[in-house]
A and B are shown apart, each in its own frame.
Chain A
Amino acid sequence: MEDVVSLLHGFSIALTPYNIVLMVIGIVLGVIIGVLPGLGGANGVAILLPLTFSMSPTSAIIMLSCIYWGALFGGAITSILFNIPGEPWSVATTFDGHPMAQQGRADQALTAAFTSSFVGALVAVIMITFLAPLIAKFALRFGPAEFFAVFFLTFASFIGTSRGSPFKAVASMCLGFALGAVGLDQMTGSLRLTFGSQELLAGFDFLIAVIGLFGIAEMMSSVESGLQFRGKHATIRLSVVLHTWKSLLRYWATSIRSCIIGCWMGVTPGGATPASFMSYALAKRFSKNGNNFGKGEIEGVVAPETAAHAAGTSALLPMLTLGIPGSPTAAVLLGGLMIWGLQPGPMLFIEQKEFVWGLIASMYLGNVVGLIIVLTCVPLFAAILRVPFSIIVPVILVICAVGAYTVNNNMFDIWLMLGFGIMGYVLQKLDYPLAPLVLAIVLGDKAEEGFRQALLGSQGSLTVFWSNWLVGSIMTLGLLLLFSPLITWAISKIRTGLGGHPAAAID
């Protein structure tokens, strides 16, 4: 009950006209940042951080967190319209969102994405409001072995549910691991696979790989298919929003599952990116229309967006309660807290009640404001596709190049982006899935780190991955998912073997 009173007090702090204006500005800036590939939430917040030094801490965090929500919303826009994820966690949104746009259903896809984002965030905020201390304790249980288990589960769910040959998925993932290994080896402090090159010291940035693999490669195949884009007949009616909402109700199970995955990954702090991938893979596995995933299934937009937003929101919880950021953007916000003279950590909830509850209240309000803003703009966004393709391709190419450059202010990255583009195009032609590759680049080094840290602690014994119920159950679940295609195949084989009627097995 005390929480509810504190929350209401928080609303009264957040709901001043000044703060509402800041919210709107923050959301709009965030959407722009989310749309521009490469700029990213973390960079955006870092650039705008100095602007907030003259504000009170509460107003400052309201504006910055609204930039964060805006970036979360905005990431979906370019993913759906152009197959270019503006943010790492929007990669999974491209899988079904972009095919929908190609079929002229961009407005539906956008509405679904925004609404799902909102639902995910709302559930996560409610969780933060009432369960913060409890969850903070749970997050402490996560040591290296537990982290590895979570990443393993993400990888396994992807291989287990991949369309086409699982071997191609594994090959693609291994290529990703190799690319992810370039740079400094955190565990020994020595350089790997840099071949004495200065440019490779920092390794391959995930964003550059994604802009190339998805954006550039997509443009190459579009150009090949004759410079036409079926999305140009996109409807521009606001009523689409209402129609889409009705159809979304059918996917309540997917929404709930994605919320749980998202909250869990955000708190632990696995982050929004693995959450979106895992949620997509599981939705595909459990959906009745699983085979249509990747061809423009609305459920394939709902799942990753819900999870990403839930994770992105709950990632702020470990930052507030433990002082460890659950995402790079949270890390920059953490820096902001210190500059405003606040010490993040277990004492924040006690010493800075006004600030914490003001922030939590702004999470509710910021997301409502954000949803209204982006939904009213859906027709506008969808209308972009009416611009002739021959005009829009060069524009996107330039935006991609600027984005790739912005990541590290480095010209070499633009060449890398083009290289990844060619690689993506070739892999697509050869029917290798790109998602496992991207997943491995993002999570490969983190998984490796967890694995080696755990083994260091256990003196090299693998039993550490089954040393308690938490890590043991995640690992076992991961193994089951990994071998699920094999198990399904074996079962059907046995059945056909015994019954002799293949048709009976399908029944």
Chain B
Amino acid sequence: MRKRPLGVMTAIALAAGATAGPVAAAAWEPAKPITFIIPAGTGGGADLMARFIQGIVTKHNLTKQPIVVVNKGGGAGAEGFLDVKGSKGDPHKIIITLSNLFTTPLATGVPFNWKDMTPVAMLSLDQFILWVNAQAPYKTAAEYVAAVKAGDDKKFKMGGTGSKQEDQIITVALEANTTPKKFTYVPYKGGGEVATQLVGNHVDSTVNNPIEAVSQWKGGNLRPLCIFDSKRSTYTEKVTADMAWSDIPTCKEAGVDTEYQMLRGIFTSPGATPEQVAYYVDLFKKVAETEDWKKFMSDGAFNQTFMSGPEFTTWLEAAEKRHLALMKEAGFLAAAAN
């Protein structure tokens, strides 16, 4: 059904490109619809953000060609990344990232690396917060960690999204503070489900992203203990009656020295020219300037850091090293990746 209009549009775009080509040789414009791949299923954080971006682009007419969003979440996102890796020479594909950009190849041995694609920009960093049920007796992260340490080994259940992915990495990092006691990590499919399981007292704590748990926090069902960042959040607007995101102490402040943030970035196909990358950087800069985007960022307490070019590449190299170290320490590396 979608196939035909697509072909027609391409033909029109090509014809237009042929006449306009010589005049504007420097700037590149997409000649056919842009496929926006989400290496995760529907309803998760990456899905939400990608569809939100699609919404902003459509609403503000930021591209001449439509953006088509496709979920390719198989094999913990490997399906989507391999698709982009195999699309050399087709710059009409972009992909949004989760931490699975680093963790999936390490954990499963599926052959891809961020260097197999062309980095475009970092949109923001997603935060992680340690949550407990509002009825739980623990008021601070230190109290909770002390309770885990004092309890039986594996008595406390940590709920998280996926296995050997960011949530479990944070859990293992957190265990440095509770040695020799460990958590029982229970993997679920999606972040919203994890938050609900915590409300229903089926797990003892979670490290949900702010956006996944915010409504339960507002509803008085969950309590945030600390944020896994070096600085407190910058959003000072009250979320609940008496607390703002900025009122949540950092984990370091709370005596639990663990830090982790997740990249929400954009990549495109390998072999993209600097003009093509520049087009996308420009597009996402425009997206980031809209009021809708700013509200979305504040609702989810995202760390708004926009990065592109060499700065972004340097950041990626450091992040890759860090993930390798964390995954190695946790024993999550696939046999093939060792």
Q: Which residues of A contact B (CB under 8 A)?
A: 36, 39, 42, 46-47, 49-50, 53-54, 140-144, 183-191, 194, 198, 201-203, 318, 322-325, 328, 331-332, 334-335, 338-339, 341, 343-348, 402, 406, 408-409, 449, 453, 456-457, 459
Contact = CB atoms under 8 A, between A and B. Distances in A.
Given A186-B189, A325-B43, A345-B219, A198 B82 contact: yes
Contact of B299 (A47, A343, A453): A343
Contact of A346 (B2, B52, B215): B215
A284 B79 CA distance: 41
A323 B76 CA distance: 23
Contact of A144 (B54, B73, B202): B202
Contacts of B59: 53-54
18 contacts: A46-B51, A53-B55, A54-B59, A184-B108, A186-B163, A189-B187, A201-B79, A202-B79, A318-B196, A323-B216, A324-B192, A331-B43, A345-B216, A346-B218, A449-B188, A453-B186, A456-B157, A457-B203
A201 B74 contact: yes
Contacts of A42: 42
Contacts of B52: 335, 338-339
A184 B76 contact: yes
B311 to A, nearest CB: 30
Nearest to A190: B108
A335 B78 contact: no
Contacts of B334: 190
Given A183-B74, A183-B75, A191-B110, A346 B219 contact: yes
Contacts of B306: none
A198 B78 CA distance: 9
B157 A457 contact: yes
A184 B109 CA distance: 12
Contact of B186 (A46, A144, A183, A318): A144
Interface string B33-74: 000000000110001100110110011000000000110111
A324 B196 contact: yes
Contacts of B72: 202, 408
B120 interface: no
Contacts of B188: 449, 453
A485 B177 CA distance: 55
Given A143-B197, A334-B43, A335-B48, A457 B55 contact: no
Interface string B76-90: 101100100000000
A408 B83 CA distance: 12
Q: Which 3 A-B pairs have the closest CB atoms?
A: A202-B74, A345-B215, A346-B219
A187 B184 CA distance: 12
A445 to B, nearest CB: 10
A125 to B, nearest CB: 23
B192 A323 contact: yes
Given A189-B164, A457-B186, 8 more contacts: A36-B1, A140-B196, A187-B187, A188-B164, A201-B75, A322-B196, A324-B193, A335-B42
Contacts of A331: 42-43
B215 A189 contact: no
A328 B51 CA distance: 15
Nearest to A403: B1
Q: Point out which of A140, A184, A338 has the most chain B C-beta atoms below 10 A from its C-beta.
A: A184
A446 B168 CA distance: 20
A450 B296 CA distance: 33
A408 B37 CA distance: 11
Given A343-B215, A346-B219, A409 B192 contact: no
A348 B218 CA distance: 10
Q: Which DSSP category, helix, strand, loop or mixed, fits chain B's interface? A: mixed
A284 to B, nearest CB: 31
B214 A343 contact: yes
A302 B206 CA distance: 43
A187 B202 CA distance: 17
A186 B162 contact: yes
A91 to B, nearest CB: 21
A338 B332 CA distance: 34
A322 B198 CA distance: 12
Interface in B187-226: 187-190, 192-193, 195-197, 199-200, 202-203, 214-216, 218-221
Interface in B120-166: 154, 157, 162-165
Contacts of A449: 188-189
A191 B107 CA distance: 9
Contact of B163 (A189, A323, A339): A189
A55 B42 CA distance: 23
Contact of B221 (A50, A343, A346): A346
Contact of A143 (B69, B200, B221): B200
A114 to B, nearest CB: 24
A338 B47 CA distance: 12
A348 B199 CA distance: 17
Nearest to B68: A47
Given A338-B48, A347-B215, A189 B76 contact: yes
A363 B184 CA distance: 42
Contacts of B108: 184, 189-191
Contact of B195 (A188, A323, A341): A323
B267 to A, nearest CB: 18
Contacts of A189: 76, 107-108, 162-165, 168, 187, 332
Contacts of B187: 186-187, 189, 453
A329 to B, nearest CB: 9
Nearest to A341: B295
Nearest to A330: B43
B139 to A, nearest CB: 22
B51 A339 contact: yes
Given A50-B55, A323-B192, A335 B74 contact: no
Nearest to A343: B215
